[in-house]
Chain A
């Protein structure tokens, strides 16, 4: 891993670090869901929209 980092330019590393928080946010973005999708939570059989 450290060898790989040595091969990267300093600029590329900085750009990667800047991009990281945005990527994390992107990853946490909930998947696109259908409001009519049926979900089971705590034993309840609900529509996704019930949870709004």
Chain B
């Protein structure tokens, strides 16, 4: 069932056991799991079926620190959530991403990759993916990794019919919770806003916030403030350890034979470090994306090399005679160190139309990440040179320690952390089952529970975690 307003929903007399806030990949997946288990669930979606400026305005906010995207651009507030502008790139976090790393504080999850692997079959169906292929070692330091460019499922479009026909799932559009109320053990109710006005209060046995990697923190921070700590009793880490995937062009490579690497349909290939290399260099995970260079760039690159290694440049010129596909731009996206200082705060000056403080995001890249970028490119360059697969030139701003450019990709629009998973209540917000520490009926879905970011796009892992949470919650509610 899909309703366009809370008023219409109320008239239907539906009695849900659980309330899910948000209809993005996490919210929709959890709702489908609960619905399939015969558990009545209501999904409150703040937006409508389509994008609107009015709805999107609720996402405006401010960023303090490094340059970042406008907060109302980097996510979407309508049915299907940010899957509506997702590029569709899929990969699950690596096994090593879940492990603690002695050289990077506050890393490590309370679960391992093996805990989400049983759900990957479902994830492949949901996201319409072929099977993942194992990584291929290129050297002791570098591995070829597969990143599937999927059809980019828009959850609102794909599942609208199924949700509309469901007897166990009610989706209420244009409706969201401005705040949750709690007594330190349970969420006792939610204050609703529907179609531009106060819609009263609502209660359910269980609540799951799936409003995104920025909004989950905002909702819980505001709710906790209004409930005097009654919604997140252990709130030290709430809003903190926020992460992105910084993404910049890192250099170029001239390749002996482009076809040496397995490339995807866009003629791109992806590489990451081995755990041994990360340990040895004390760096984080990263992904290097090879994008075929246009011909004029190749000539420029060879001319540059001629000043340093004339014979090598001559050899490359001969390669260019043989094939035009001989050079690539190197884009690097890397894992961000989880830092408590990278955090979501509530604005003290600005509120949205419903009176909820907007987000003030504090975000800075750390020296460890800067080292990961430089050493990662060196590692990749050394592998290509040692194997005679090609030669890499690192961009000057990286070699010389210059400022990050402000005219490049910047980051992946991947919002992770803020309500991270863990066992230490001072450094996490939810437990291994995504339940808020100290609360009996409040769960969190989505990438805000990520403890570390790894290097890959988060949607596949979000969906796997949502399958796992949906199954767990189904068992809890059924008892």
Is B312 in contact with chain A by the CB < 8 A criterion?
yes
Q: Choose from B251, B308, B386, B393 the contact partner of A38 (Cβ within 8 Å).
A: B386
Whether the pair B391, A44 counts as a contact (CB closer than 8 A) is yes
| Residue B384 CB within 8 A of the other chain | yes
Q: Does B396 contact A (CB under 8 A)?
A: yes
Q: Is B370 an interface residue (CB 8 A)?
A: no
Shortest C-beta distance, A26 to chain B (Å), equals 28
The count of chain B contact residues (Cβ–Cβ below 8 Å) is 22
* A30–B381 alpha-carbon span in the complex (Å): 25
Number of interface residues of A (CB under 8 A): 13
Interface residue SS majority, chain B: helix
Task: Mark out the residues of chain A between 1 and 52 whose CB falls within 8 Å of any chain B CB in the assembled complex.
Answer: 36, 38, 40-47, 50-52
- Inter-chain CA distance A52–B393, complex, in Å, is 18
Residue contact B378 to A41, C-beta cutoff 8 Å: no
**Are B309's CB and A43's CB within 8 A?**
no
Contact with A along B226-261 (1 / 0, CB 8 A): 000000000000000000000000010000000000
Smallest Cβ-Cβ distance to A40: which chain B residue: B378
Check: B138 CB closer than 8 A to any chain A CB.
no
Task: Given A50-B309, A50-B312, A52-B311, check contact A44 B392 (CB 8 Å).
Answer: yes
A52: B residues at CB distance < 8 A: 311
Provide the residues of chain A in CB contact with B384, threshold 8 Å: 45
B382–A50 touching, CB < 8 Å: no
A45-B311 contact given A38-B386, A50-B391, CB 8 Å threshold: no
- Chain B contact residues, CB within 8 Å of chain A: 251, 304-305, 307-309, 311-312, 377-378, 381-382, 384-386, 391-396, 399
Known: A38-B382, A45-B384, A51-B312. 8 other contacts (CB 8 A): A40-B381, A40-B394, A42-B308, A43-B395, A44-B309, A50-B309, A50-B311, A50-B385
